[in-house]
């Protein structure tokens, strides 16, 4: 079996990893990625389309190939790459994906990107503390989560490693655990709402 194909990257590059179902990808994902590129001074953002989220109902999940095709159309930016390599490596949980990347791409400076809505349930993720120990985390504000997310159990557990928002451009250089909460323009779009509309 061929090794999983990752987006191209040169040693030392600062790469944001934005994982999700992308079921379907939409302008809100693009908004988060553009914000992360600018505020964190990243070189690239990789959209990691998951084979399936253990915390979500898989019955509503479109085939991975279909989700990747739509994401590729939405990610209209040369600095955003779409990949479904998690299926190829058999990763079921985020922690497995991050371990795999750290081991095989040690020369890249990774930052995990998540929406504030994900931070509210982060404590339910498999080995969430280990995720925080593997790479810095950037949390992007989402409507309705500005106050709740920073006070969620996962955020409280990692509170002492939160850096000031003014230091966000330095996040990729921080040794984990380190995380930042980024405020700014927020997108109310969600894949769930889009599916219901269809």
- 60-96 pLDDT, tens digit per residue, is 899 999 999 999 999 989 999 999 999 999 999 999 9
Say yes or no to pLDDT of 190 above 70. no
Could you identify the residue written with the tokens 């930052």? 111
179-182 vs 137-140, strand pairing mode = parallel
How do residues 98-134 score in pLDDT, each as one tens digit? 999 999 999 999 999 999 999 999 999 999 999 999 9
Q: Is pLDDT at 1 greater than 70 in this prediction?
A: no
What is the H or E stretch that residue 88 is in? Answer: helix 85-89
132 compared with 196, residue with greater pLDDT:
132
DSSP 146-195: TTTGGGSHHHHHTGGGBPPGGGGGGGGGSPSS-EEEE-S------HHHHH
Segment 31-59 mean pLDDT: 90
- CB burial of 157-186 (b: ≥16 within 10 Å; e: otherwise) equals ebeebbeeeeebeebbebebbbbbbbeeeb
């Amino acid at each position: 079996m061929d090794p999983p194909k990752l987006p191209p990257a040169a040693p030392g590059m600062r790469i944001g990893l934005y994982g999700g179902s992308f079921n379907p990808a939409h302008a809100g994902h693009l908004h988060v990625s553009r914000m992360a590129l600018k505020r964190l001074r990243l070189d690239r953002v990789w959209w990691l389309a998951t084979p399936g989220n253990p915390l979500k109902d898989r019955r509503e999940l479109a085939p991975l190939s279909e989700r990747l095709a739509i994401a590729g159309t939405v990610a209209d930016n040369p600095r955003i790459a779409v990949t479904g390599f998690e299926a190829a490596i058999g990763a079921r949980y985020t922690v497995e994906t991050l371990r795999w990347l750290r081991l095989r791409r040690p020369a890249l400076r990774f930052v995990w990107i998540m929406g504030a809505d994900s931070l509210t349930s982060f404590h339910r993720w498999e080995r969430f503390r280990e995720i925080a120990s593997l790479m810095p985390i950037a949390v992007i504000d989402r409507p309705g989560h500005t106050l709740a997310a920073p006070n969620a159990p996962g955020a409280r557990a990692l509170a002492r490693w939160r850096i000031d928002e003014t230091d966000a451009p330095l996040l990729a250089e921080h040794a984990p655990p380190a995380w930042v909460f980024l405020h700014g323009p927020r997108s109310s779009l969600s894949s769930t709402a889009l599916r219901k509309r269809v």
